[in-house]
Amino acid sequence: MTISRNLRVAGLAAFSLSSSVAFAGDLTIYTPQSADRTAVIEELAEAKLGFDIDFVNMGGGEVYDRVLAERNNPQADVIFGLIDFLTAGLKQEGLLEKYTLDALDGLPDIYKDPDGYFYGYRQTPITLSYNTDILSGEEAPQTWEELSDPKWEGKFMIGALTWQTTRAILAGLFTRQIDETGEMTEEGWDWFAKFYANAVVFEEGMNRPEMIANGETPLSLNHFLGVQRDAETGGYNYAYIDTEGGTPIVVERNAILKGTDNMEQALAFLEYVQSVEFQVENAERFGVIPVHPDAIAQSPEDVRKSATLLTPQPIDWDLMARNLDGWLERIQLDLL
């Protein structure tokens, strides 16, 4: 990295997509977003920006671990769509570059890193839902805490600890079990022991939509659109639960990796994906919920409704970034 990079970041803050800029080199982007979705985004962005983009798809935890492993020899330029606490963790490790963009005008502060290292472009409720063909609203749990009750033994599935969605679920659950100093309580660990005793932990070969459809695991712990995709695949009806204490709402964040040699391309790409235009198109194509108020207002009606469907759960993502790895390790060693 050259000493002039910070000057270039400041100088490119007002970068315009209509500017005539000659780009050199491909842009490599690590992302936990699905390959079918990023293939569309890649095509749109390349047509708009005029340079080659290479998305490398992997789980959110894998993105985090890979960036750490490549600390001394960075292989990527941008992180796209990594959730709150993982992005905050990379910031704490000193692996991100500060930047700003015109497209950030009007973005609420809750979607901005206060130090300027990363910004959100979409939000995703991490939900508790159920198969309404199997359970009634009265029978379904109304709180996440109820999942430790023996009545739900074997009735819900949770994914691998490396999955971004699983880590977000657990962040919400940890938040419910910490004391006022941010430490996990022994009562909390007792609760997690009961929770994991009840849970079906995903293994390769399991067919989650089929298991929810046939009532084997009628409860679903999944992100907002994942619930919809599973229901469509499995052919069942579903309902989200507006749980007491709120639903974790994670925000997919975008960041520039320290050590990139493609700062101009990185800023141009992020100017595009942070724009209201892109967020609206993303909502129309994929049904995802934007973060920019203007994009929400211009999105399809179902997306606008989804933006206010569930009560958000307050979560200290910086606290999660500092503690999550240790807590996940204890789950791995003691509860799995």
Q: Band of the pLDDT at 25, cuts 50, 70, 90?
A: low
pLDDT tens digit sequence for 123-135: 989 999 999 999 9
pLDDT tens digit sequence for 232-255: 999 999 999 999 999 998 899 999
User: What tokens appear for 211 in the block?
Assistant: 């298991």
pLDDT tens digit sequence for 143-173: 999 999 999 999 999 999 988 789 889 999 9
Domain of 201 in residue numbering reads as 124-248+312-335
Q: Is the dihedral of CA 211, 212, 216, 220 positive or negative?
A: positive
The DSSP line for 19-40 is S-----S-EEEEE-S-HHHHHH
Does one domain contain both 143 and 217? Answer: yes
Does one domain contain both 97 and 36? Answer: yes
The CATH number of the domain holding residue 327 is: 3.40.190.10
Does one domain contain both 183 and 38? Answer: no
Write the CA distances from 156 to 69, 128, 258, integer angstroms: 34, 10, 40
Q: Where do the H-state alpha helices sit in the chain?
A: 5-11, 35-49, 60-69, 84-92, 164-175, 186-198, 208-213, 224-234, 263-273, 276-286, 293-298, 301-306, 317-330
User: What tokens appear for 82 in the block?
Assistant: 């990594």
- Measure the CA–CA gap between 48 and 51, rounded to whole angstroms: 9
Does one domain contain both 62 and 211? Answer: no
- Measure the CA–CA gap between 58 and 244, rounded to whole angstroms: 33
pLDDT of residue 312: 87
User: What tokens appear for 14 in the block?
Assistant: 């007002």
Does one domain contain both 196 and 51? Answer: no
Does one domain contain both 62 and 89? Answer: yes
Residues 6+ apart with CB under 8 A from 79: 29, 30, 31, 63, 67, 87, 90, 96, 118, 253, 254, 255, 256, 257
Number of structural domains found in the chain = 2
- Measure the CA–CA gap between 273 and 48, rounded to whole angstroms: 11
Does one domain contain both 231 and 262? Answer: no
DSSP 183: P
Does one domain contain both 151 and 238? Answer: yes
Does one domain contain both 232 and 281? Answer: no
* Mean pLDDT for the stretch of residues 24-40: 88
Does one domain contain both 177 and 298? Answer: no
Does one domain contain both 109 and 258? Answer: yes
